[in-house]
Amino acid sequence: MPDLKTSKPSPAESSPEAQLSGLLWEARADTGELTHFGGEVHSILGAYADLDKPRFSFEMFHPDDRERVATIIAKIVETGQPAVFDARIIGASPEPIWVRNAVRTEERDSVLHLRGVSFDITDLKKAQTDFIRARARLSFLAGVSRILAESLDYEKTLENIAKSAVPQIADWCAVRMLSEDGSMTRIADVHSDPSREAMLKDMIENYPPTEDFGPNKVVREGKSELLPDTAGLAKKVAIDKGHLDLLERIGFTSYMCVPMRIRGQVRGVISMAITDSGRHFTEADLEMAEMLAERATMVVENSKLYREARDELQRRETFIAQLGHELRNPLSAIANAVTLLAREPSQEPHLAKLRGILKRQTSQLSRLVNDLLDISRITRGKISLNRAPLDLGELATRSVQTLQETHGAEGRSIEVRTDRAALLIDADEARVEQIICNLLTNAIKFTDEGGHIEVALSREGDNAVLAVIDDGAGISPEQLRDIFKPFHQASLGAIDAGGMGLGLALVDQLTHLHGGKVSVSSDGPSAGSRFEVRLPLTHPVPARAAEVAEESAGSRRRVLIVDDNPDALESLKMLLELVGHEIEVAEDGCGAIERARLWRPEIALIDIGLPDIDGYEVVARMRALKLAPRPLFVALTGYGQPEDRQRALAAGFDVHLTKPVDIDELSRILNWKGPH
């Protein structure tokens, strides 16, 4: 629009238009002269209303809106089409006023006029801006929630939170955590302009925060700090000219810092600043930052709790593994001694009875140790199944026979009732036998002498069902809920479960590992109980000829035993000599290597935990001797976890056996004639 001369419009304050909620105006299109205006004149136009010759001028508008308004007005004049547009006027208020304008043209006396009405919509625009910012904050917090759920590594999570805050919330975001000595540890520094990050790093390294501003103040007072406008702050906090220059180049225009509290104490801070976007933080932004700090604090606390729990679990697992090793060493000596005693004929009934007691109790101790370690492995998901087709009825019958011989089932009637047809399942034989034996042991424990226990096997659809039914103490309704939980111990009347409460927990977990289900029912105390295990049936597979290792039963072998437990060493030596083998012994690793070099054994039974060097190094050094023929290296140890077996085989052992070893299994290995 050309630079137009204006004339004083006719006064309108006394007219009804003065009562309009808005500004009504008219101007010549050729000169811009305001020929008429009324309504909210002063509240919108401010000083423009008092000019001698007020005129419609683009200088009234905010510099960022002038070009757009000029284009709109030119189009209205050219086409005659009315238009509605929003723009900011620099008028009565110190801040620009948002005005919605409806403008049309009217020709009068051959002169084209612009006629318009303008309404103050500043509050509406502010509400829209607040809504957009609130929606952005909610979106940001939703994104933060996803970040918080992704990882328990709190340092990485806090860094990702800082990255998500820039530039969505701020131009710069920093996270600091307090160390035990009270010093600040840098977790994250993110700026929307990578070139500024070097300046920020320089400021952090050379100009630590002052005590009366920023992180140190927030930590000391425990309260958030909000500086919507930081004009003059740089000169106030700068400690020298270099610091001032750096602050001015970084150019903070708005700043806030919020505390991160853990259990009531400030343990970190989140700082945010505006440098380039021209915005200023508000109380709503501070509230959002405080919510962010609260959520971030939860991650830090949960992460620390997770690390503590993980470390505690690791300590527990290490303890259990060590406990298994320490228990298996004396058990090995006892089991060897019991086997030796069983081979000594005796006509004394009381000696036979004592041997029976020793055999049963040794078997019970071995089972308890194995149950303890199995629970640990299952809990960590480190147990694997060696599946093969097997007849569940055949296995149940054999398990009952074994249990009657070793677990004190005297005085109780145990009956096996099964279908004639084979119940084939694809399962780990040792683990299913463990399920059956644990159920039977539980039934024996809660059934008095003279009682009856039934093992019933049947087919139901695609499942084989094994039920163990007793007429013993029964189970109360409140105990049925917890019966399969680890370490749960039932106590019914005068009967105390004893043990460690692991047997039924193992039944439940091993059954689920096989893809089956276990259930329990009872009519209450003194009414007996019924446990049912359902396992998927499998189809029979054609029999194939198996490769059978060539054995020479009873052949004399040269065996070196390496063990630092004197009782375990001597008892195993006596046992193997009794069955005809030639034995040499060593109580430490270095002595074993020297004996192997001089005596050249055919087989070396080596314990892992030795006083000088461990069994892994012993087997490595023995292999380096290149003895011919090379001995069969057998790890005979109390460490029985799957990872222990893998490590033993990786170290050079041919076989891994866990104490106490079954003498029949050991004999098969000692008689091995195949390659190794």
* Both tokens assigned to 402: 């074994």
Given a cut of 90, is residue 25 above it in pLDDT? no
| pLDDT tens by residue, 579-596 | 889 999 999 999 999 999
| pLDDT tens by residue, 278-303 | 778 888 889 888 888 888 888 788 77
* Both tokens assigned to 105: 């043209």
Convert 41-70 to b/e letters by CB count within 10 Å (16 or more is b): beebbbebbeeeebbbbeebbeeebbeebe
Given a cut of 50, is residue 16 above it in pLDDT? no
Cis peptide before 660 (omega within 30 of 0): yes
Contact 176, 185 (CB under 8 A): yes
185 backbone φψ class: left, alpha, beta (φ>0; ψ -120 to 50): beta
- Quote the distance between the C-alpha of residue 318 and its chain's center: 21
Query: Could you give the angle at the alpha carbon of 39 between the alpha carbons of 35 and 42, nearest 5°?
Result: 90
Instruction: Kindly state the average pLDDT of the residues 528-553.
Output: 65
Given a cut of 80, is residue 7 above it in pLDDT? no
145 backbone φψ class: left, alpha, beta (φ>0; ψ -120 to 50): alpha
Q: What pLDDT is attached to residue 58?
A: 87
* Both tokens assigned to 452: 């009856």
Residue type, 9: P
Given a cut of 80, is residue 136 above it in pLDDT? no
Q: What pLDDT is attached to residue 594?
A: 94
Given a cut of 60, is residue 5 above it in pLDDT? no
pLDDT band at 312 (very low <50, low <70, confident <90, very high): confident
Of 250 and 268, which is predicted with more confidence?
Answer: 268
**Candidate from 348-362, 565-579, 641-655 with smallest mean pLDDT:** 348-362
3-class secondary-structure state, position 302: helix
Of 232 and 461, which is predicted with more confidence?
Answer: 461
| pLDDT tens by residue, 372-385 | 666 666 666 566 67
Distance CA 372, CA 146 (A): 39
pLDDT band at 435 (very low <50, low <70, confident <90, very high): very high
* Both tokens assigned to 608: 């892992």
Q: What pLDDT is attached to residue 6?
A: 38
| pLDDT tens by residue, 138-156 | 777 777 777 766 666 788 8
**Candidate from 253-257, 361-365, 592-596 with smallest mean pLDDT:** 361-365
Instruction: Kindly state the average pLDDT of the residues 412-433.
Output: 86
Contact 637, 609 (CB under 8 A): yes
DSSP secondary structure string, 403-438?
HHHHS--TT-EEEEE--SS--EEEEEHHHHHHHHHH
* Both tokens assigned to 39: 């309504």
A 10 A CB-CB count for 249 gives: 13
Of 504 and 342, which is predicted with more confidence?
Answer: 504
Of 594 and 249, which is predicted with more confidence?
Answer: 594
257: β partners: 225, 271
Of 138 and 270, which is predicted with more confidence?
Answer: 270
Q: What pLDDT is attached to residue 247?
A: 80
Q: What pLDDT is attached to residue 539?
A: 73
Given a cut of 80, is residue 543 above it in pLDDT? no
Whole-Å CA distances, 66 to 43, 59, 79, 193: 21, 7, 20, 30
Residue among 129, 52, 128, 60 at smallest CA distance from 92 = 60
Distance CA 329, CA 610 (A): 12
Distance CA 113, CA 115 (A): 6
* Both tokens assigned to 556: 């004399």
Distance CA 620, CA 82 (A): 95
Edge-to-edge strands, sheet with 97-108: 34-39, 23-28, 111-120, 97-108, 83-89
496: β partners: 491
| pLDDT tens by residue, 155-208 | 888 888 888 888 778 888 889 988 878 788 888 888 888 777 777 777 777 777
Q: At what angle do helices 283-343 and 349-379 cross, to 10 degrees?
A: 160
The half-sphere exposure of 355 on its side-chain side, counting CA atoms within 13 A, is 17
pLDDT band at 345 (very low <50, low <70, confident <90, very high): low
Q: What pLDDT is attached to residue 12?
A: 43
174: β partners: 189, 271
Residue among 156, 195, 192 at smallest CA distance from 272 = 192
Residue among 184, 173, 88 at smallest CA distance from 129 = 88
586: β partners: 562
**Candidate from 212-221, 362-371, 569-578 with smallest mean pLDDT:** 362-371
Given a cut of 80, is residue 54 above it in pLDDT? no
Of 488 and 71, which is predicted with more confidence?
Answer: 71
Residue type, 433: E
pLDDT band at 499 (very low <50, low <70, confident <90, very high): low
Domains of the chain (ranges, CATH numbers): 16-120 (3.30.450.20), 151-281 (3.30.450.40), 384-536 (3.30.565.10), 558-670 (3.40.50.2300)
Distance CA 497, CA 483 (A): 12
Contact 193, 171 (CB under 8 A): yes
Q: What pLDDT is attached to residue 669?
A: 86
What's the whole-number average pLDDT of the chain? 81
